[in-house]
Copies of this chain bind each other. A is one copy, B any other.
Amino acid sequence: MAKAEKPNRKNDQAALLEVFANPHPGRDYEIEHIAPEFTSVCPKTGQPDFGVIRLIYTPDKKCVELKSWKLYLQSYRNRGIFYEDVTNVILNDLTAVLAPRTMTVISEWTPRGGIRSVIRCNYQK
C-alpha cells in the first residue's frame, strides 16, 4: 500500500469537490461510490474513453458530498488524459481534500483494440 503523493497541481477540477463532516468519526467504516458513467478523451487518438470509477474510503473528519463528486467526475468529459494518469490524479485530488484514513480508486475501462484495462491505486494515512 502506497504513501500519500503530493497533489501535482491545484487544478480547477478539484475545486468542484465539496465535503461534509463525517457524522460518525469515532468509528472506522467504509464508504464506496461506484460511478459507471465516467468518460474522458484519449490524448493520443482524440477518441472518447469510457469507464467505471470505483471510490472506496474510510473517512476521517470529512466525507465527499455525492453531487459534487458527480460534477467533479463530469469535468473530465472533454479532457484528454491517460488511464494510468487519471486514476492517480483522482486519488491525489480526493486525498488532498478529504485527508481520509485510507482510500482506493479503481478505474475499469471498456475495450480498446480488443483489450480492456483496470487501474487500482490506494492511499494509507
Contacts and interface: CB of A to CB of B under 8 A. Distances in A.
Nearest to A120: B30
Nearest to A26: B5
Nearest to A119: B31
A35 to B, nearest CB: 5
Interface residues of A, number: 51
Interface in A105-125: 110-123
A37 to B, nearest CB: 4
A121 B37 contact: no
A12 interface: no
Q: Which 6 A-B pairs have the closest CB atoms?
A: A2-B27, A29-B121, A24-B88, A32-B118, A30-B120, A37-B114
